[in-house]
């Protein structure tokens, strides 16, 4: 049964393996969250690259799946009740994939809600604030004469890193010994501060030693290494 052919997005990004979960994404922090989750959970998936420089996120086909025109988004041909499920918002996708696979989200009620708490902390705090640091330090806002916006986001990013560093003191992962979707949500954004934003000195990243320790452990995971470059860049012609 190939329900997913009914979805308009498959006209622009045809599925080579229509029985697999379809991922529409880029290797940005939010995109990496979902590709790493799929790799960690061992869910077969097909990754489609959405070219935001060509404004593909505004195409009618993409908007049919995500009217909010942001990556990542998924189409699962085997969603709840065996029906196809189209889903956007990386945090919602992480929760869905954790529940679908029965992995990376603790069953114990207290641990469950604490994990979701840290996922929401990333979605509402670390992600948006770190992203603003990137904009004002590295991208479109770096030439603004008024440095007050940059300073505001630098201060907030440092505060958030301090909160995370304190949480990770004496812990292997955010939830202790258990590796969860909280780590998969938060750590791509921490990595981004160094790799994409080159904000090491600006934010004094080295001073957050617990954060650096856990990030290094995370980057050693084979599933993380596979997920970091999904979908792969097109090969030069």
Q: Does residue 82 sit within a domain?
A: yes
Whether residue 233 is contained in a domain is answered as: no
Judge if 131 and 28 occupy the same domain. no
Regarding whether 122 and 99 lie in a shared domain, the answer is no
- The answer to whether residue 170 sits within a structural domain is yes
Q: Point out which residues pair with 23 in neighbouring strands.
A: 47, 74
- Do 163 and 175 meet the contact criterion of CB atoms below 8 Å apart? no
Q: 80 and 167 share a domain?
A: no
Domain count for the chain, please give it.
Answer: 2
Range of the domain at 183: 109-221
Residue 187 lies in a domain: yes
Write out the chain's pLDDT in tens, 237 residues: 444 457 999 999 999 999 999 999 999 999 999 999 999 999 999 999 999 999 999 999 999 999 999 999 999 999 999 999 999 999 999 999 999 999 999 999 999 999 999 999 999 999 999 999 999 999 999 999 999 999 999 999 999 999 999 999 999 999 999 999 999 999 999 999 999 999 999 999 999 999 999 999 999 999 999 999 999 988 876
Number of H helices, E strands in the chain: 11, 4
Q: 202 to each of 51, 102, 199, how far by Cα in Å?
A: 30, 40, 5
- Check which CATH number belongs to the domain holding 52 and give it: 3.40.30.10
3-state secondary structure at position 25: strand
| Residue 164 included in any domain | yes
Do 62 and 9 touch, CB atoms closer than 8 A? yes
Q: Are residues 141 and 92 in the same domain?
A: no
Residue 130's domain is classified under what CATH number?
A: 1.20.1050.10
136 and 205 part of one domain: yes
**H/E element, 195:** helix 181-195
pTM of the model as a whole: 0.96
């Amino acid at each position: 049964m190939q329900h997913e052919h009914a979805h308009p997005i498959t006209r622009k990004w045809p599925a080579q393996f229509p029985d697999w979960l379809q991922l529409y994404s880029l290797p940005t922090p939010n995109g990496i969250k979902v590709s790493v989750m799929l790799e960690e959970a061992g869910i077969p998936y097909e990754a489609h690259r959405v070219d935001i420089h060509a404004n593909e996120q505004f195409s009618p086909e993409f908007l049919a799946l995500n009217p909010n025109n942001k990556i990542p988004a998924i189409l699962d041909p085997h969603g709840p009740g065996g029906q196809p499920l189209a889903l956007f918002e990386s945090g919602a996708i992480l929760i869905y994939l954790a529940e679908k696979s029965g992995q990376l989200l603790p069953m114990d009620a207290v641990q469950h809600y604490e994990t979701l708490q840290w996922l929401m902390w990333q979605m509402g705090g670390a992600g948006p604030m770190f992203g603003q640091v990137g904009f004002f330090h590295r991208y479109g806002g770096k030439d603004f004469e008024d440095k007050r916006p940059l300073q505001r986001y630098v201060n907030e990013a440092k505060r958030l890193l301090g909160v995370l560093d304190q949480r990770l003191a004496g812990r292997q992962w955010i939830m202790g010994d258990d590796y969860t979707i909280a780590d998969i949500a938060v750590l791509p954004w921490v990595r981004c501060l160094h790799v994409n934003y080159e904000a090491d000195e600006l934010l004094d990243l080295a001073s957050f030693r617990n954060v650096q320790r856990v990030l290094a452990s995370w980057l050693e995971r084979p599933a993380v290494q596979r997920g970091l470059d999904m979908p792969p860049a097109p090969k030069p012609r």
